[in-house]
Structure 1
Amino acid sequence: MPTPGPQPVMILIRPQMGENIGAAARAMWNFGLDRMRVTSPRDGWPNQKAVAMASGAGRLLDEAQLFDSTAEAIHDCTYVFATTARQRDMTKPVFSPEGAMKLAAEKIAAGEKVGVLFGPERAGLENDDIARANAIITVPVNPDFPSLNLAQCVLLTGYEWRRQTTEVVHEVMELAGSDWATGEDKDRLGDHYEERLEEAGFFFPEAKAEGMKRNMRNLWARMPLTRADVQMLHGMMRQMVRWKERGD
């Protein structure tokens, strides 16, 4: 059964290779999309090559709806996007994938049904297909090589849909079982290094010693150290002192 959350329908118009249909299904499911419609697949349906390529997303192929024409595939949609990289000499709004999926999310939240058309691999959507759409999605690709694989186009659209409907964490720090070092941890580290470096005659000349110590404290303070990092730095200094004492 399809997942319960509202989402756009991904509509593959006259896809040619079963492998590309399977790859498109996999790309959809990567981003939680599982409403696929297919019109007049060239190599027939069902297609074992599509199943093999789907690699874990075979359910989408089992549940995919098959239609004979673009008009039938969008019969219940209230707003339709058509993906194309070429100018079509039609008066329609043109969106980036991000802008299109932002609008799609707004319309779906308001109770509308949104579809996205993807054309066949050889030449993309025909003008008659695009004429039935409300708007166009164009990816800002290299103008000298604008052709996208079917699954790539589906993947880009799915990614932007996910960004609009799921909170995206842009950066996370994995602490690998440790905690951030506290101010006290860094103070003790600073004391340790100052003491040993003082013994080694590092703070020279004397007129510059206070400034050098301050700079070192500033170094520890601005470094994003974990407690494991602090323990390692303590251990490094202890080992260097032992090595020096053995050398004497």
Structure 2
Amino acid sequence: MSSEQNEVNGPAIILVEPQMGENIGMVARAMANFGLSELRLVAPRDGWPNEAARATAAKADHVIDQATVFPTLEEAIADLTYVLATTARQRDGFKPVLAPVEAAPVLRARETADERTGILFGRERFGLSNEEVGRADAIVTFPIDPAFASLNIAQAVLLMAYEWMKSGLATEADTPFRGPDITPAPREELHGLLDHLETALAARGYFRPEAKKEKMVDRLRAVLTRPGFTLGEIKVLRGIVSSLDYFSPSEPRGVGYPERKQAADTPRMQRQPRLAPKGDDA
């Protein structure tokens, strides 16, 4: 991740007359998920502090504890130099309209330049009034289905907070962790597995009728060459095939040394140099 993530505070999240403490708590959780911490409340209906908010904040206590309350929107944004208003409805006027993915870099650039920014979110029932939108510098709206444009306030905050976090990453595909680096096995190892499996299947009469064997082998190879097995994975598969090849219900692993296994091991053992017993002179 970019080190820039920790160099700026991030925009203030401003909730205008929020009605339910539970929603405020979920907003705090969404903020904390993506590195935002400054929550401003304008005339919350049920007062503040609110234990219902803390209960739904999922331990985002630092956001709840630092939240500030203002009697009016004008006072809540008085110290800010750039403010965005979120809305799902088209508004008459001349305000620029941005998508979240466009708005986040603008906010980050201003924050990096030591400006103070904020994002307005309206009431759960009807959002922001036209007068409140008019106090903002620009509008942010979400690319949602117009047939169902209602967003929960915490969802709206989550979308903006996510875009804010993304705007500070080294690349858009940055994530906190990645899967392991996979190095495919050499082709000779894969071919060895395929030959091993083909021999084992042929010994058990799998390729029937004989005229279709070539096509069946082609399909088998197509399936097994698709995943890009590692060397370790190929060793596991060959161990499975060997176990099926040498052991059977009548001679399971652990009850002895099956004749087929002994017959396969004897030539290999004969090729290995004999080691002198311990204590003998070299």
Normalised by the shorter chain, which TM-score bucket? 0.7 to 0.9
Counterparts of 1:138 and 1:94, CA distance in 2: 7
Q: Does 1:98 align with 2:78?
A: no
Cα separation, partners in 2 of 1:17 and 1:212, compared to 1, 3 Å: closer
| Residues 85, 140 of structure 2: 8 Å contact kept | yes
Unmatched segments (≥5 aa) in structure 1: none
Structure 1 or 2, whichever has the larger Rg, is 2
Deviation digits for residues 44-75 of structure 1 (CA, Å, limit 9, x no counterpart): 11111111111211211111122121111111
2:63 match: secondary structure:
helix
Counterparts of 1:194 and 1:17, CA distance in 2: 67
Unmatched segments (≥5 aa) in structure 2: 1-5, 252-282
Q: Which moved more, 1:17-26 or 1:70-79?
A: 70-79
Q: How does 1:147-158 map to 2 (within 5 A)?
A: 147-158=150-161
1:159 match: secondary structure:
helix
Q: Does 1:230 align with 2:234?
A: yes
Q: Does 1:45 align with 2:48?
A: yes
| Correspondence for 1:139 | 142
What is the number of residues matched between the two proteins?
Answer: 242
Question: Which of these residues, 174, 187, 192, is aligned with residue 188 of structure 1?
Answer: 192
Q: Does 1:10 align with 2:13?
A: yes
| Residues 11, 115 of structure 1: 8 Å contact kept | yes
TM-score (norm 1): 0.83
Question: Which of these residues, 75, 88, 92, is aligned with residue 91 of structure 2?
Answer: 88
Q: Does 1:125 align with 2:128?
A: yes
The percent of aligned pairs where both chains have the same amino acid is 41
RMSD value, Cα: 3.1
Q: How far did 1:20 drift?
A: 0.8
Counterparts of 2:165 and 2:229, CA distance in 1: 34
Q: Which moved more, 1:107-116 or 1:69-78?
A: 107-116
Counterparts of 2:140 and 2:119, CA distance in 1: 9
Cα separation, partners in 2 of 1:165 and 1:17, compared to 1, 3 Å: same
Q: How far did 1:5 drift?
A: 3.2
The letter of the residue matching 2:230 is: T
Q: Which moved more, 1:125-134 or 1:193-202?
A: 193-202
Counterparts of 1:193 and 1:173, CA distance in 2: 33
The letter of the residue matching 1:237 is: V
